[in-house]
Amino acid sequence: MTMILDRILTGLVYLMAFYLLFFIGKWVHDVLNRRYRITHELVENDNPAVAIALVGYYAGLAICIGGAIAGPSLGIADDLIDLAIYGSLGIVLLNLSVMICDRLILNQFNVDDELIQDRNAGTGAVRLGVCMASGLVLYGAISGEGGTVWTAIVFWAIGQALLVAASRLYNLITSYSIHDEIEKDNVAAGTSFAGALIGFGLVVGLAAEGDFHSWGSDLPGYVALALVGLVMLPMIRWLTDKLLLPTVHLADEILGVDRHQQPTEHGPNLGAAFIEAFSYISAGWVIYWCV
């Protein structure tokens, strides 16, 4: 009974530390986004694009802080010190990841303008995907034992570069321009891309999960696993699509065109986009479990 009570009290301490870091991460986000007031956009303007993007940031924040908590305990004092150091590092790198991805992934238009002025839910969905994928990359970089702040930064930087490269690859293998469709307020295209980004984040981020031993053994292994996973992801996604919707061409549904490339009455099919997003996310988990 004493052990159970001690575990509950220790858990409450970690929970309070988690929410303190989460509040700091929220405050940092608010400071970096002074161009608009979040409460005003959510409550008064009822802006779904900002809401979707914000949910993604909060999810990514929770995931990366979780990376600082996960793992065996070294004692409550040491755990709280590590949580403060790596949790704070995760907050900084997550916000830096969003800035990098805005400039390298959605580089053909101003993301804030799309979120605030155009209320573009497709852009909000992509920002959600970026934040969650970056949170997963940070989870892998921060979690585990044997590393330092510098190992976490190096694995984050490599993971972020792979994430950007994977997003470029996605744009090449699709039959339409991601930027053009999102700028046309195609929520289905943004949702599908968000699922792909989260799938990429699962593969790249969780490949780095585990204890750090040495650069010579861990770094080549991480890069190899991540690259193999990224190559496998589109193939498993295709297989999943064929199992779930064997008679449907998802790209046409996302674009809202028929087999003759003529616009359909219902327009872009958001339901089909959710199926494709699920395919990428489930493929990411399958690769993590199997590889």
Mean pLDDT of 270-290: 88
CB 205 within 8 A of CB 133: yes
pLDDT tens, residue by residue, 193-224: 999 999 989 988 888 887 777 888 788 888 88
Residue 128 has a pLDDT of 96
Average pLDDT of the residues in 9-37: 90
Number of domains composing the chain: 1
State residue 211 phi and psi, 5-degree precision. -80, 150
274: containing domain: 1-290
Q: Across the chain, what does the average pLDDT equal? A: 86
% of the chain surpassing 70 pLDDT: 98
Statement: residue 16 has pLDDT above 90: yes
Query: What is the pLDDT, as a whole number, of residue 1?
Result: 66
For 221, counting Cβ atoms within 10 Å of its Cβ (0-12 exposed, 13-18 middle, 19+ buried), the class is middle
pTM here is 0.92
pLDDT for 86-106, tens place per residue?
999 999 999 999 999 888 988
Q: Would you call 186 exposed, middle or buried from its count of C-beta atoms within 10 A (0-12, 13-18, 19+)?
A: buried
pLDDT confidence of 113, banded at 50, 70, 90?
A: confident
Quote the pLDDT of residue 216: 80
Which residues, at least 6 apart from 229, have a Cβ–Cβ distance to it below 8 Å? 203, 204, 207, 284, 287, 288, 291
Rounded to 10 deg, the angle between the 149-173 and 76-104 helix axes is 30
Residue 116 pLDDT greater than 80, yes or no: yes
Residue with tokens 């190899």: 224
pLDDT at residue 127 tops 80: yes
Query: Is 184 a residue whose pLDDT tops 70?
Result: yes
Q: Could you identify the residue written with the tokens 């190992």?
A: 151
Task: Collect all residues with Cβ–Cβ distance below 8 Å to 283 and sequence separation of at least 6.
Answer: 199, 232, 233, 236, 237, 240
Q: Which residues have CB under 8 Å from 176's CB, separation 6+?
A: 189, 251, 254, 255
Q: What is the mean pLDDT of residues 237-258?
A: 78
Residue of 155, 12, 152 whose CA lies nearest to 85: 152
Percent of the chain at pLDDT above 90? 35
Residue 260 binned pLDDT confidence (cut-offs 50, 70, 90): low
- In the numeric block, the tokens 């799309």 are attached to 114
Question: Per residue in 35-91, pLDDT tens?
Answer: 778 888 888 888 999 999 999 999 999 999 999 888 777 788 888 999 999 999 999
Which pLDDT score is estimated for 98? 92
In single-letter form, the type of residue at position 210 comes to G
Q: What does the pLDDT read at residue 251?
A: 78
The region of weakest confidence among 22-31, 101-110, 193-202, 241-250 is 241-250
Q: What is the pLDDT, as a whole number, of residue 156? A: 93
